[in-house]
Chains A and B, each alone.
Chain A
């Protein structure tokens, strides 16, 4: 009982602003000429959601067809507590109370525009930095009886929509976000349909070996060959950084299964680890086995999809001097169109299984976002993999 009162004590000051989550403070539909927010060519079944949040307010622009709904929602400390709790629990595989935090976030962020986007197939989400590490897929719709039960029956947002995150990368006035020509498995201007890199790190002191990453790209390569498509697989010692930099421009899909190191030893730059990585050899902040963000910026990619199957590859921030860019945005700047990355640590074994299933669906004719959604739904339906810690880190970012 004491705990209840302690919570009430925290929350009571916030009731000076009479806000009920899910009930919108202000909502208006913009006239069609104002609804054209930026250069977006949305399909009939797509909705664009743009979020901007401050400590006390959330502004959501929802665009569908030629009309936009503006929803302004007051936020109270409960929102930020739920936000922090949700992220912490999902990253540490702690399911106690995770469902409640997910429902509170849904009430604040999605409920205000829920009816406006009904019937749409795909959500394109554009967030500011404060929500950039939030997996919208795992938000839980509360007005459903299934949400009362833990596990496989929770009504996650991914059940209703495919979700793509829109890169905040500025491509100039003429750039257009357009998903019309998305994913066909036919290589265009690329020598290989699939290029996979797996350094594995067998017998590398100080690094955990990733045996399943080898199996992962071997099986994916086999799936491509069965479809008569070309694949180029680079394992273990051959998976060197310089080689990657030379050949990555030749793949339509470039897949990287490795470790990501946030900060290298001796204050060196972090990055993706390749064969030959030696923690003791760092010269001027550079290490021969680490592909740094600066080096990624210099790549001339033409890939339709880059898969970064390493830990937390979707949240690494790079400060350009003006604002922060995430790692997917840096790859997009280097020429890639779509990036599949992760928001937190992924385990070697399950990360491999996830990707094999993803490609199997892609090769059966699904788009990237359809395939991603279906793999996630498959995992949710199985009690052993229903924990969002396992399926929710994967996000698709598009140019």
Chain B
């Protein structure tokens, strides 16, 4: 029994009731624990029904005829479509690239130290730039630096982010974990440690904590945490408003706010 291995034809054989009892039992056990396999079995079953339907077969034949005619007519059109597809997919690739990576404004800074890649404590590699004020706002500050007082510069870091403000502190109606600390709107002097602590309802699930600056840019992400606490050192963090999200199983459990002064 242990030596069995499910191959592609098992799904067909299962739906056609061709598996022997031992195989069937093994397959059912795998079905119970594998949602992907269940989906494939379900789709295969649906397709079998679809293929047995005379109307559908007739329809498929008509579609195939139409495509064959179209292929005969448009040899060059096919190549054009292929070229267009490549261009389109390249454009999509660029768009997707934008989705996954935040733009880093290398041009706006002459100081190479500011663009130095910084490794947060046990976290992901991030640009140190993100710790500071947003790119657009930084440009403005660079241009008009002479005219701004230090207080004005700092005030940009203390502007709340409307997207997150309404979510701060409201617990979700999921009881998987309960956050014990910090308070959802916590103010502390920069440089101090902030202890995150939570209690799991049942089994221990990995938790991620994401930190955003007040422009909504992700600045720091912890690795998956299996303990029930995490200590954040704010030593290198400039004063300002930060937001943190506790993520469990890809879902946000709580959004909090941390003000460093």
Contacts and interface: CB of A to CB of B under 8 A. Distances in A.
B99 A100 contact: yes
Contact of A347 (B89, B172, B178, B199): B172
A88 B100 CA distance: 12
Contacts of A207: 175, 178, 201
B202 A265 contact: yes
Contact of A263 (B90, B92, B179, B202): B202
B236 to A, nearest CB: 23
Contacts of A213: 173
A347 B201 contact: no
Contacts of A263: 202-203
Contacts of B102: 96
Contacts of B96: 7, 78, 81-82, 97, 100
B contact face: mostly helix, strand, loop, or mixed: helix
B42 A323 contact: yes
B172 to A, nearest CB: 4
B59 A311 contact: no
A96 B172 contact: no
Nearest to A93: B252
A84 B59 CA distance: 33
Nearest to B53: A34
| A: contact size bracket | 35 or more
A277 to B, nearest CB: 9
A26 B56 CA distance: 14
Interface string A1-33: 001100110111011001111000010101000
B67 A26 contact: yes
Interface stretch (B17-25, B80-88, B114-122): B80-88
A209 B170 CA distance: 10
Contacts of A52: 43, 46
A88 B99 contact: no
Contact of B92 (A11, A266, A317): A11
B224 interface: no
Contacts of B38: 129, 323-324
A249 B141 CA distance: 64
Interface stretch (A41-49, A115-123, A188-196, A385-393): A385-393
Given A78-B89, A208-B171, A350-B170, A319 B97 contact: no
Nearest to B80: A18
B245 interface: yes
Interface string B184-205: 0000000000000001011100
A273 B175 contact: yes
Contacts of A390: 166-167
B223 to A, nearest CB: 16
A306 B93 CA distance: 43
A259 B255 contact: no
B29 to A, nearest CB: 13
Given A93-B245, A384-B162, A311 B173 contact: yes
A54 B216 contact: no
A101 B99 contact: yes
A206 B202 contact: no
Given A92-B251, A93-B255, A7 B173 contact: no
B28 to A, nearest CB: 9
Contacts, number: 188
Nearest to B44: A54
Contact of B172 (A94, A345, A387): A345
B150 interface: no
A261 interface: yes
A104 interface: yes
B247 interface: yes
A91 B202 contact: no
Nearest to B165: A384
B32 interface: yes
A383 B165 CA distance: 11
Given A20-B88, A261-B201, A263-B203, A383 B162 contact: yes
Interface of B: 32, 35, 38-39, 42-43, 46, 55, 59, 62-63, 66-67, 78, 81-82, 84-86, 88-90, 92-102, 162-167, 170-176, 178-179, 199, 201-203, 210, 216, 218, 245, 247, 250-253, 255
Interface of A: 3-4, 7-8, 10-12, 14-15, 18-21, 26, 28, 30, 34, 52, 54, 70, 72, 78, 81-82, 85, 87-88, 91-97, 100-101, 104, 128-130, 206-210, 212-213, 257-266, 273, 279, 309-312, 317, 319, 323-324, 344-351, 383-387, 389-390
29 contacts: A8-B93, A11-B90, A14-B89, A15-B85, A15-B86, A18-B81, A18-B85, A19-B85, A21-B92, A28-B63, A81-B96, A92-B245, A93-B255, A96-B102, A128-B39, A128-B46, A129-B35, A210-B173, A261-B174, A261-B175, A279-B201, A317-B35, A319-B32, A323-B38, A324-B35, A344-B251, A350-B170, A389-B252, A390-B166
Given A311-B174, A345-B253, 15 more contacts: A8-B93, A12-B89, A14-B89, A20-B88, A21-B88, A34-B55, A94-B218, A97-B100, A206-B199, A210-B171, A257-B173, A260-B175, A261-B201, A310-B174, A347-B170
